[in-house]
Amino acid sequence: MRRYVFNVRSSVGVWGVTGTDVGVGEVLLPHHRVTATRGTAPTPVAVAARQLEEYLAGARREFDVTFAPTRATSFQRDVWGALCDIPYGEVRTYADVATAIDRPRAMRAVGNANHANPWPIIVPCHRVVAVKGIGGYGGGATVKRYLLALEGIEYS
């Protein structure tokens, strides 16, 4: 099955939504610079791209997409599930997420699971911050601040 790439533009760069008829495989951060695939996107990719465009325009707060199967540990899946429970416009610390999955001392592992998240924004790893500061983000601090500001959260 051929992987399709749909690009979504934002003021911080071009995001890529990849996938097949089965589901969305990844959301690629702006620094990945992928070329869009020609032709008609499979429905799961088109739906996710449209929802991502709406989110970036400030017109969407939640996502309803079909994810393609991905390799992940049960810990990563637990973390990603906890991320989906963080409401739009709110943040949690790495410690908060670790506590939410009953692993209160696993803050660093939560950060690693965030970094492995194949669906940034849709699975909102940008809503996780450090106790003192913004914390890391695969797309960089500027992109993370942009996403948080889009949700009404200002971080210096």
* Digitized pLDDT (tens) for each residue of the chain, 156 residues in all: 788 999 999 999 999 999 999 999 999 999 887 888 899 999 999 999 999 999 999 999 999 999 999 999 999 999 999 999 999 999 999 999 999 999 999 999 999 999 999 999 999 999 999 999 999 999 999 999 999 999 999 876
List 110, 113, 125, 150, catalytic entry = 125
As assigned by CATH, the class of the 74-150 domain is mainly alpha
Q: Tokens for 109, please give them.
A: 């592992």
Among 21, 16, 20, residue whose Cα is nearest residue 139: 16
Burial 12-31 (b: 16+ CB within 10 A, else e): bbbbbbbbbeebbbbbbbbe
84 catalytically annotated: no
Domain range annotation of the chain: 4-56, 74-150
CB of 127 within 8 A of CB of 116? no
